[in-house]
Amino acid sequence: MAANENVQQVLDWAVAEVGIPGIVAEVKDGDRSWFGTAGVADVQTGSPRQPGEYVHTGSSGKAFTAATILSLEAEGRLSLDDTVNAHLPGVLDVNGYDGKKITIRHLLSNTSGLFATGLAPEISHRYATRSGFAKHRFDTFTTEELLRVAVSQPPVGAPGERFEYANGGFYIAGAIIEKVTGNGYAEEVERRVVQPLGLTHTRVRPTTDTGYPDPHPRGYSHQFLKDGANPAAVTPENWQSLMEEPGLPPLDVTELNSSLGWSAGNVVSTTGDMIRFLNAMAGGGLLPPAQHRQMWTTVSTEGGYWMPHARYGLGLFEFDKQATGGQTLRGVGGSLWGSWFFAVGTPDGRHTIAVHTNTEWKSWDPMFKVIEAEFGISIGA
């Protein structure tokens, strides 16, 4: 079919022109299914990408956290409008934050005023350079450490004032899940999201895991600063200018400890499972109607140094209709060293495409081109 041919052309282009080692795309459109691939799963052996690979879904895990919180709200065990202090007294009352004013809704919509967690010196000094990454790639983060990092820099705004993509807000949401239920975060995600949706190849990655089940691609990264660059000088505005020069061979980052992601994004899954997950999130197949509406009550991301042409819900995004020619498209995605995943589909949950690359995000072009090819639109035109 024409859509398949057009998407395949984009996959081939992504490998040839963008420098992605290997890329896969899986489509479910009513009764139509399609799987395409380009490039390799392993640059040493040349083995191809294949269906059913286990991959890290990066910040897609935020949607699992949001769905778990909303499930608890549906049971009356918490409210999105609860303040953080109502559940975790004092955790936010440092460095200019006020736990009496920041709500769970603020955390899940990235409007809490928390700073961009990845720019914390404790994080950037460990992973910003190739040598730092090699030294710290197997470091394990405890919940207490993650909560401390979340508030280690001052606010970027008042609660509800603006969008700023902050992993720290989802760390706090994960801690609230544990406090309210008395169970571990991964256990609650399994009970409330994974099992009900029949996601048999999906789980929150244990902190002890440093690899993947088979089959899986190798992961390759260029996501490092130039030698001599000071991680403390990195800002959302200048980080791209400080990245290492193109042309260096990628670093194989397949084996690593990803506990830094935790409730902000540490889910391992497959493209097939993630299509099922997004279809349920987009179409309302898991949550009651009231919570489903809350998940898709979106905020502007303008000025937040995030994906263009999109608004943010609770852990997921929706493209502006002006940018898609009036078509509503909803999605989930995320990036980690050696991995970039996204899935985008229609609100009825019937037409979805999921894509994974075995290197991290490089630009929005591959994503937009894939979506344009599959859905027959021109984003932002």
Residue 124 has a pLDDT of: 84
pLDDT band at 245 (very low <50, low <70, confident <90, very high): confident
Q: What b/e string do you get for 7-29 counting C-beta neighbours within 10 Å, with b at 16 or more?
A: bbebbebbbeebebbbbbbbbbb
- Asked whether residue 134 is domain-assigned, the answer is yes
The residue whose two tokens read 């996501």 is 223
- Asked whether residue 161 is domain-assigned, the answer is yes
- Asked whether residue 288 is domain-assigned, the answer is yes
Average pLDDT, rounded, for the chain = 95
Each residue of 59-102: pLDDT tens digit?
999 999 999 999 999 999 999 999 999 999 999 999 999 999 99
Assess whether the previous peptide bond of 155 is cis (omega < 30° from 0). no
- Asked whether residue 75 is domain-assigned, the answer is yes
Distance of alpha carbon 64 from alpha carbon 315, whole angstroms: 8
| Integer CA distances (angstroms), 131 to 127, 247, 360, 376, in order | 8, 18, 18, 44
Residue 240 has a pLDDT of: 75
Q: For 55-68, give the DSSP string.
A: EE-GGGHHHHHHHH
φ and ψ of 221, to 5 deg: -130, 140
Distance of alpha carbon 267 from alpha carbon 59, whole angstroms: 8
Residue 206, judged by CB atoms within 10 A of its CB (0-12, 13-18, 19+), counts as: exposed
Instruction: State the CATH number of the domain containing residue 292.
Output: 3.40.710.10
- Asked whether residue 82 is domain-assigned, the answer is yes
Residue 1 has a pLDDT of: 56
Each residue of 277-327: pLDDT tens digit?
999 999 999 999 999 999 999 999 988 779 999 999 999 999 999 999 999
Domain range enclosing 297: 51-348
Q: Mean pLDDT throughout 37-49?
A: 98
Residue 381 has a pLDDT of: 63
- Asked whether residue 33 is domain-assigned, the answer is no
- Asked whether residue 8 is domain-assigned, the answer is no
- Asked whether residue 230 is domain-assigned, the answer is yes
Each residue of 193-219: pLDDT tens digit?
999 999 999 999 999 999 999 999 999
Distance of alpha carbon 56 from alpha carbon 258, whole angstroms: 9
Entry pTM: 0.96
Q: How many domains does the chain divide into? A: 1
Which letter does DSSP use for residue 223 in this model? Answer: -
